[in-house]
Structure 1
């Protein structure tokens, strides 16, 4: 009876369970399914199949990226690094009541984060990092279960909600760096998060001093507070953090010495305090024998490098460049581990180069420029096949260069200039398949230049000047198709100049002065359309100057002190300086002074005709002078007229001039205005000799010098305008590059300044894209403009003695010559990076709306990466044909946001391409668009350097099937800085 009752009771319970709980379970499954399908519709994954099995017929627990608990409740959503786009439906996600982990990092998600996120109260792990969100971080105070919070590198702005974060006392990881937040002091709220072991606050505009309470966060193993506005000394309390594995303090304004007791951080493996104002010695470092990476570059440290570092068994990265360190390097440095690189350039170090840094065969960079190292180059580096950069210039090294150095298979720069090194360039150079630059000047190198050098097909620069090379130039040198600069001056070379040089289509600068070269100047040099500088002076060259050179657009030509004869071509006369052809007694000219006049028989020109031409020239000059005086007399008021006439003009020439300031002044007339910029009018000046010039006129006061005030918008007061003038002159006067506008001279007075440039007949890229004749720009032309402009910016950033930041890169500042070759122009806002500055930045906001990088608004830090962003916008213009700001983009949106919104499907991406671009070029255009997207990344650190932009553009050459992968890597960024090239 009892048994029967038991079974009866059990049966009732089963019925109750089936009646109530099973429908509830079914209801939960339906709810979860609906929620996940809602997420699927909000997010897109164009290039992956992550959502292929997210279908209603499947169990949600079998969905890709979904993890359930034993009750089939969704516990985790793991969709990081899936190339997702779209906005996140947090209101739906937070309906998953059992959800503990939401990981959406490393995608391309956008939009603002709604307050609905705070409803996910059960979350323990939240990763939204490395995306493209906008707006502020909402309050998270209700999410008290959070232990891991990743919101770094995602475009969040405004004020960090510290008040809500301080209540999340269970946090183990707090990572919100690399966002454009408003500047705030170091947040005291962090002091309450005593469980933290990972704190990432790099690049989020934190100012003030590092607080002393930082020493209370004793669980920290990682502390990253770099790239902020921190000042003062590193507090001694930081030495209490005995568990620290990584300490990142780089790019702040920290001062003082390394704190006493730093030696206690014996678990420290990664220490970077670069780019601050720290000083004193490195004695505390000698106890940190677990260091893997030591980065203390760009500070003011003195004294010797501790010899104990030579016994550090884990050390692989070592950078101390630009300090004031003395004494020798530890000779066992880098010999224990798989050493990667060393950079100790720009110190006062002495002694020999440590011989065993490549013992494990892994070293990539040896950078020891500008010290006082002595001894020979160790033979061991001739076998270091992994080296990509070998730079030991400006030392006191001696002996023969090991032959294997020349043939290192992965090296792209060999820089040994300004030493006392000897020996030849060995035939091993044929193995250097990727070497791009050879800096060998100012040594005692000798022997013949080997014909095998032509096998180093990637070479773009060869500088062998001021050595003892002899013999003939190899005829095979013409096989170096990428060669842009070759300097062979100051050697003992003999024989003729190879005709094959005319095949080096990229050649920009050719100097062979002060040798014993003989024979004629090859006519093939006239085919070098990119040649800007030609110096063949002080040789034994003979014969006539080839007429083919007349087709070149040379900034400098010097053929002096040879045995040349015959007529100097008229077009070369225009380019020549007084000394360009001197020392050639048998040369004659119709126009140049100090040369004998060519006879009628030679010239084919009668004496009467020459007389007529001279009279016409004199009359023209007189007429122009009269015209200039007439223009002066017409200036608005007598006061300005008097001021203008009494001005004392100071002319500073940067190239040989074939005109006078009077000719330029005469053309400053409203009828000749061809453009109006933020700092002055631009005029076209056509000279009698056929040369066209562009002249920018800048007034140093608000009166505009008698011109209509509306014609010259005031950017600032007169002092600021003078600064802009000086900036442009300073930036352009020393620049010699085919893709940077040529500045002939400056003409300045107390009231007014003029900049005289080469004239670009096809106007600006802006004009061609947006104003008229847009159809003329086919994709091949647009691509060539993109690549040429990139090379110009690359030169400014990496090719000058000090990097030049343009600060106003835009399509209207890219000018086009008659062949649509682009030149970078308008340096009124340029800044030359100071070599003694701890930050490559300036605190002046400058630029043009639509092109300005987002970091301007929250840090005012302007560096090369800001130019890269602006150039990315120009690339988007070239691909889409759109202006940076268009009504169709929507209110307060620009081309970058518009392009980002169209990255959902292949069809929407292809729709971005300008309809004027032929269909078969659209895939090529998309390759460039990908580069543009990378250049316009929200975070500067993610953007490539211009040298890498050039490389990517070269790989995107039309019809060249090369894929470009856009990295969205938001992990700890590679800060191992490479030295200037």
Structure 2
């Protein structure tokens, strides 16, 4: 047989092998290929063999030639779920969790998966309605559709899933009421065997139906928080005596809390905060397992501390802020053995606060803005005690520690890396706390939706969590690293989790699939006090060697041989083609390296900006960090585009500002902006982390500021109440940041868009001025003014700038004056057709010593404060700032001095010192400290003042202050 005949026979045999499917059912094999064709980034082993069961494809499990399970958690899958999934008629388990780029609608054909018991699509990007056809899945016991983008209402037909144990629809965009059965149609009240109703973080509305609950139900977790429910809490809720966690907070519920609520004697966490509940405070007598109680921000009748305060000895956290409480507080409560936090600010407790013998677990006591006149304790209490805004702080004997908000906060827990201090890893790697080697961990955020505690510093508790993760996920993992422990805006406990392989740098795909399933299927059970949780995984950077390593089949060999022939032909064609494509290739290089076009022929060799501590990010890196710029990570938007919360591979939280097409600058302008921002460093300015300029994308990456905008906090949307002193300090910090831009930036910068939404508050509520998108540089030839097109935000615009188009630093001063009026009134600049500046001017009355005539428009929170220190002077300063003539306005430096003096007159620290210092530096005497920069002044050789900038190159000569 000659060589040609042998090759011919080889291809015939290869072709014959390609059409067979070995041990796998032909329909199942075809369905898997359909899925693969609809996805990018499917596991490398998929499609390498023709037998998904016998020569198994990763994540595929089979029984008797039929596919029974698909476990593909955290595989980086992209694309849509094919309706051909329905062909896997023997499928019992489908886990596609944490594939953020899986999108599109959930095909109705999933209703044909009659054998399925577990369906997990958590942490993807599915959208559209939840198909009614799910009711056909009669064997379904676990349904997790949380953290997607589903819209529409909850299908009533889900009520027909009589075997359902777990129902999680949280963190979507679901609307409408909770369906219950009526006139023969099904509803969720039929799910008497279901133990978990997780419907939180949606847009569900209407009343919570009374018919939803019955004594036959076995519910243990009922999470309805952060929706739009109205009406009363139904009395029938008291029938579900199996409940352990009840969260109804952050809705618009009204009326009285039903007396039947204290039938729920097994509840550990009860949260009814941030509603419109009325009547008396609920009687929780007999609920002896309660650990966490939050009844804050409702409209309960004024009352003394209820008797049940002294009976619930399991309490770890008692939170009733703005609860209408008065009288004395029972000291017995503080001795409860597990008590960690008592947060009772904005009430009317009076008399002497007696801590008695406080529990060793007690971490924080906050009675801010009450009417407490004295304080005592039988034992030393060295933890946080806040009595700001009480008469006890106005007495000569007042303790400056508990009469200050700036008390020492303990650092939240993180796994110790003390023995690994010298180890440095690359960006996507982390230090394995066990071996001190660099590795690629499986990581994400473990989010506990109702923990029974509030203390984030307790090392014993979090070490117990580490031990639990290590033992229950063993032997897949070798060590655990916990960090960034915090309570987010929903009162969920977030913990960054990193899991490391016992011996290797990477996990295999099969190991990641197993870990993802353990966390998405709730196979892993944390210690009971952590309560219900969900996991949000980061994409995993698989190594090339971690793909499936299967021996080649004859078909694969034939494919390679055939491919080689084709490749040879292509190479010949490419050599010819490459010559004609040289210019196009060069243009592609220019696109991929945009800085190359910025190279100056006379000055530098490279086009990259001259940066200080600022990184160049790739588009893919930022896309990955923001989960493909998902709506769930969107934290702001404006005319320029949108801002997204991102998590870098190093675990650092950032805010990514992405310009939309119509608002992008030219390349040179963008380069100038990032070079400028990389040089601007001040504690009251949001810091630039890096940028991206890649193929029609312009993005700036800033440090992430967790407590949102000043506007959000003034409206109460963040759950933080800003008392008067805090508002003064926010004004001072913002003013310092702007004064720095005007006086010390080189060249000076006019912000041009000062407003409350561009002032951010960090974890200590320190103000940081943000968004320099409209900022204007002032050259030496433009020191008096800049002629420019009018830009800014309606309500904050300087009228003189608007009329003359002459921009000066005083335009920022005007806008800042409007922000000051917002701090006083909590109103937006233009509200119901009324302009705040004019409204204040009309009603100012200097005969009113207390409120200066502004009592009717002042923020109601401030009227609860007994002493608004410097209020009249603050109002006067605000009105000077919004003077219609720029020359009559103060400078930002003068604004800083006035607010600083107001605070100093009350004995409060402002982190500024006007006294001269005898310290010397490089032979120059360091004199007074600048009021808006903590860096000291010093004299140069000519005796002139200049600002010491700590070594940064943007210091410039200024006039003596």
Normalised by the length of structure 2, the TM-score is: 0.41
The structure with higher relative contact order (CA 8 Å, sep 6+) is: 2
Larger Rg: 1
Normalised by the length of structure 1, the TM-score is: 0.40
